[in-house]
Amino acid sequence: MEKKYMERFKGRYCKFVTKEPGEIRATVTTGLLEDVDYEDGFVIVDSKQGLGALRINTIIAIKPANPKAKHSNRSNDDHAVVGIETLIVFIAMILVAAVTATVLIQTMDTLQQRARYISDQTIKEVSSGISITNVIGYTNANQTHLEYLALQVRTTAGSKDIDLSVCTLTMIYDKLYALTFNASASIDVDDKPSGLGVFEWLSDNLTLQASEYGLFALHDEDDSVTNTNGINSGDIVLIVINISKVLNTTGLPPRDSFTGTFQPELGMKASFNIDTPAVFSKRTVSFY
């Protein structure tokens, strides 16, 4: 490349075509020709990659170039667009991560509350319950059939308060009978006149239909049974059933039997079995 030819392009934006000895393909470099060092055989070029040097003996062609073709506003805009897109993606990832974390925290909180509720309910279910301590029957005047049945119940040890009005009493005889509480059939032992037997007084003062049971509070120190039908520790209650109404007969005859359960709303149920004797020697019969 002649010196006068090189000097003509000094300070101008040019396209340099170089080819190393032994190479088949040529290389194109575009930039500003800053200076020419003839002594060492280099040209100084300020290109897009920065300030660099090309050996003069490798330059096979120099051609003026338009600087705007490589450094146009459009090119700068393209780089800016790529930066904004990257920023948008980054912000979106942060937002997704934040939403995911919030959902996970809320889910964990919900599961924790659910687990605590289930734990409390399980403890109540296991620790609460009704215990049948005695089963007493009462025959008709002729002592031929069992007319009334009373389950003497109390809460199990450590039990929570139990609402007797929402308990379910089931009996299995010739078929399954389900009895519910009669709100008007809840009375206290203090209401009974002295000298009168419990069943004698109940038969005259407690009206029960076939699908109902009533309450008779034997011991109710805090009046929880009388006021709210709730039985707690220390209370003793009779669950009264009119057998003759339930079976739609004169009652349960001798040498007969049936089973039943008393199930509170929450807690362990109590079961009982009745086997009537061959002869009712007295009107009051104790089965337990």
Considering the domain boundaries, does residue 163 fall inside one? yes
Considering the domain boundaries, does residue 194 fall inside one? yes
Q: Strand 270-275 and strand 130-139: pairing?
A: unpaired
Count of structural domains within the chain: 3
Considering the domain boundaries, does residue 140 fall inside one? yes
Please tell me whether residues 204 and 173 are part of one structural domain. Answer: yes
Yes or no: say if 202 and 148 are a contact pair by the CB < 8 Å rule: yes
* Whether the predicted model's global pTM rises above the 0.85 cut: no
Please tell me whether residues 77 and 169 are part of one structural domain. Answer: no
Considering the domain boundaries, does residue 151 fall inside one? yes
Please tell me whether residues 10 and 87 are part of one structural domain. Answer: no
Domain hosting residue 172, numbered range: 129-286
Task: Give the torsion sign (CA, 245, 250, 251, 252).
Answer: negative
Considering the domain boundaries, does residue 122 fall inside one? no
Considering the domain boundaries, does residue 238 fall inside one? yes
Considering the domain boundaries, does residue 114 fall inside one? no
Please tell me whether residues 84 and 138 are part of one structural domain. Answer: no
Please tell me whether residues 7 and 90 are part of one structural domain. Answer: no
Please tell me whether residues 279 and 138 are part of one structural domain. Answer: yes
Please tell me whether residues 81 and 166 are part of one structural domain. Answer: no
Which two three-digit tokens encode residue 106?
Answer: 């809320």
Please tell me whether residues 150 and 268 are part of one structural domain. Answer: yes
Please tell me whether residues 217 and 101 are part of one structural domain. Answer: no
Pick from 172, 185, 252, 187: nearest CA to 212: 185
CA gap 135, 128 in Å, rounded: 21
CATH label of the domain that carries residue 52: 2.30.30.520
Please tell me whether residues 62 and 155 are part of one structural domain. Answer: no
Please tell me whether residues 204 and 217 are part of one structural domain. Answer: yes
Which two three-digit tokens encode residue 180?
Answer: 């519910």
Please tell me whether residues 140 and 274 are part of one structural domain. Answer: yes
CA gap 22, 165 in Å, rounded: 106
Considering the domain boundaries, does residue 188 fall inside one? yes
pLDDT tens per residue across all 288 residues of the chain = 667 777 888 888 999 889 988 888 888 989 998 988 888 888 889 988 888 898 888 888 888 888 775 544 444 444 445 567 788 888 899 999 999 999 999 999 888 888 888 877 777 667 788 999 999 999 999 999 999 999 999 998 888 889 998 999 999 999 999 999 988 777 776 666 566 677 877 777 777 888 999 888 888 888 888 888 899 988 999 999 999 999 988 899 999 999 999 999 888 899 999 999 999 999 999 998
